[in-house]
Amino acid sequence: MNFLLQLQKALRSPILRLTLWYVAIVMVISAGFSVFIYNQTAAQLRQDFIPRGGRMMVGLEDPFTGTIRDRVQELFEQQYELATGHLRNKLLIINLVVLGAASLASYFLAKRTLRPIEESLEEQRRFTADASHELRTPLTAMRSEIEVALRNANTKPEEHVDILRSNLEEIHRLEELSRGLLRLARSESDARGVAWDVTPVSAIVDDAVRQVTPHAEKKHITLDRVDIGGSWRGDKHGFVELLVILLDNAIKYSDEKTTVRIAGQASSRHVSVAVQDHGIGIKASDIPHIFDRFYRADSSRTRNTVDGYGLGLPIAKQIVERFNGKISVVSAIGEGSIFTVTFPRA
C-alpha cells in the first residue's frame, strides 16, 4: 500500500510526467524505425536466401525422391531464420539502449524545461504574498484608527481631523502602491506596438530632469547634467520613465544640499547613461537583491526614513530588459551609488 501511494505521488510530479511523455515519443519513433528496418531487411534476406537455394538445385535434384532439393532448401530457410533472429536481437538491444538514454536525457530536459515555469510560479506566489502584505498594512492602520475613534465617545473634533488626515496618508500610500503595481505589470509586457522614434539622448535626459526637478528642489539637491550627444532609436517614453525612476531614487536616498549627476556617452552602437548620487549608499550584500520586487534593504533604507514600496528598481530593470539593455550599479556605504544603463542604439 505504501509503495502504491509513493508511486501515485511520484506520478503526480510534473517532471516525471513530462519525462514519461518525452520517453514515449522517442520510443514510438524508435520502434517505428525498428519495425521498418526489420521488414525491409527481412524481405531482402528472403530474396537472397530462398531463391539461392532453388538455383543450387540445378543438376542436384533426385528424380525419384527429391531428398537433396528438400535438404538444401531447409538449410537455406534455417539460415534465413537465424539471420532474421539475429536482426531482431540487435534491434531489441538498440531499443533498450535508446530507452535508457532517452530516459536520462528526457529527465534532465524535463527539469530544464520546467525550471523557468517553476521559477515564474514561485515569483508570482511571492509577489502575491508581498503585495497582499503591503496592501494589508495601511488598511489595518486605517481600520484600527477608525475603530478606536468610534469606541471613544469623547473624541474631540480636532482628533477626528487628525484621524482623517492619517487615513488620507494611508490612502495615498495605497494609490502609490497600486500605481507601482500597474507600472510593473505594464513594463513586463513586450515592446510590440510601441512607437519607436529617433530621439536625441539630450532631449530624453531633459524630459526626465524636468519631471524630478520639483522633488530635488524640496531637498535643495542640485541636478548636474552633462550633455550627451547622439540619438537613440527606441521608445522615448520608456527611456524617460527609466531615467525618472533612477533620478527619483537618487534624490530620495541623498542628503539635503547634495548633488545628483547625470552623465553618459553615445557611440555608434550603444548609448550609456549614468546617474550618480552622494547618498547613503547600498551594502554589497543588498546589491544582488535591489531589483527584486518589494525588496527593501536594511534599516538605513526602509520606509521609516524613505517612502516607497521597493517597486521602482524592478520596473527599471523590466524596462531595460524589454529593450535588450543592461543595468548595473556600483555603490559604497556613506559615499553614494552609480546606476548605469546601456542600450543598443538600433
Task: Please give the average per-residue pLDDT across 139-150, as a whole number.
Answer: 79
Q: Are residues 324 and 222 in the same domain?
A: yes
Indicate whether 339 pLDDT > 90.
yes
Q: Is there a single domain that holds both residue 181 and residue 295?
A: no
What pLDDT sits at residue 7?
A: 54
Average of per-residue pLDDT across 319-324: 81
Kindly list the distances between the CA atom of residue 206 and the CA atoms of 93, 183, 236, 238, 315, in Å, as whole numbers in the listed order: 72, 22, 12, 14, 21
Domain count, the chain: 3
Mean per-residue pLDDT of the chain = 77
Regarding predicted confidence, which is higher, 284 or 7?
284
In a shared domain, residues 132 and 116: no
Position 321 scores a pLDDT of 82
CB atoms < 10 A from the CB of 214, how many?
Answer: 8
Domain shared by 222 and 337, yes or no: yes
Tell me, yes or no, whether 32 and 157 share the same domain.
Answer: no
Residue 217 and residue 329 in one domain: yes
Long-range CB contact pairs, 257-261, < 8 A, 24+: 257/219, 257/220, 257/221, 258/221, 258/222, 259/221, 259/222, 259/223, 259/224, 260/216, 260/221, 260/222, 260/223, 260/224, 261/224, 261/225, 261/226
CATH of the domain at 261: 3.30.565.10
CATH number, position 133: 1.10.287.130
27 with 145, same domain: the answer is: no
| Whether residues 138 and 117 fall in one domain | no
β-pair partners for 339: 275, 329
pLDDT of 203 over the 90 cut: no
- What does the pLDDT look like over 18-67, one tens digit per residue? 888 888 999 899 989 989 988 888 888 777 665 554 444 444 455 544 56
* DSSP structure class, residue 310: S
Tell whether 61 and 169 lie within a shared domain. Answer: no
Domain ranges, residue 235: 197-344
d(CA 12, CA 91): 33
pLDDT higher than threshold 80 for residue 254:
yes
* Of 69, 87, 122, the domain-final residue: 122
| Residue 27, all three cell numbers | 520510443
Residues 180 and 216 in one domain: no
Q: What's the pLDDT tens digit per position in 256-302?
A: 888 999 988 877 788 888 999 988 888 888 888 888 776 665 444 44
User: Based on the domain organization, do 116 and 136 belong to the same domain?
Assistant: no
Residue 342: CA atoms inside 13 Å, Cβ hemisphere, count? 8
Q: Which residue(s) pair with 341 in the sheet?
A: 273, 327
Residue of higher predicted confidence among 307 and 21:
21
Co-location of 226 and 288 in the same domain = yes
- Position 15 pLDDT exceeds 50: yes
SS3 at position 198: strand
Give the sign of the dihedral formed by CA 281, CA 277, CA 259, CA 219: negative
Mean pLDDT of 303-328: 74
Last residue of a domain, one of 122, 155, 171: 122
Q: Tell me: the pLDDT tens digits for 102-124? A: 889 888 888 888 888 887 777 77
Q: How far apart are CA 7 and CA 10, in angstroms?
A: 5
Among 122, 152, 173, give the residue marking a domain's end: 122
